[in-house]
Amino acid sequence: MSALASEESSLKSAPPMKFPRSLRLLRHADFERVYERGRRHFLPHMTVFFLRRESGEGLRIGFTVSRALGGAVDRNRIKRRLREGVRLRCSITELPVDVVINPKRSLRTTEFETVLDEMARAFESIRQKLVADV
């Protein structure tokens, strides 16, 4: 068996790396509630809105990528990068909080490592603010 064939078979058997529906904000009303009653954390390449939930468990996250950031291809690429950043750097999954990430235009050309670092800083800041409010 060649190295390429063994690599392909291991990729087929690996579990999918999805962003589960239970971790996503889906309803417009949820986004509006976070914008209106939530707090903000500003970063160089994104603004993060967050609101602690009264009920429920765990993190739910949503992304708003406006048309000003580019066409559908560019916006979808930005959302994929943000989802991957959340998957890799999210550290507040146990807190009942809704988070909305609103990227800035500069995120399109930013190195992915920089995006990951900003994500880590954002989630650490949210954690500190939520723990301090309790």
Q: Tell me, what's the pLDDT at 16?
A: 55
Residue 85 forms part of a structural domain: yes
Q: 35-56, pLDDT tens digit by residue?
A: 999 999 999 999 999 999 888 7
- Domain annotation covers residue 5: no
Give me the residues paired with residue 102 across strands.
47
Could you tell me if residue 127 is inside a domain? yes
Number of compact structural domains in the chain: 1
Give the list of residues 6+ apart from residue 111 with CB closer than 8 angstroms, or none.
none
Q: Are strands 46-52 and 59-63 parallel, antiparallel or unpaired?
A: unpaired
Domain interval for residue 129: 20-133
- Residue 81 in any domain: the answer is yes
CA–CA dist 129, 134 (Å, integer): 9
Q: Please indicate, yes or no, if residue 4 is contained in any of the structural domains.
A: no
* DSSP SS3 for 44: coil
Residue 93 lies in a domain: yes
CA distances from 130 to 3, 63, 83, 87 (A): 49, 20, 22, 20
Residue 107 lies in a domain: yes
For residue 112, the domain's CATH number is: 3.30.230.10
Convert the pLDDT of each residue in 12-36 to its tens digit.
544 556 677 878 899 999 999 999 9
Is 1 domain-assigned?
no
Q: What is the mean pLDDT of residues 105-128?
A: 91
What is the rounded average pLDDT for all residues in the chain?
85
Closest CA to 122 of 48, 58, 37: 48
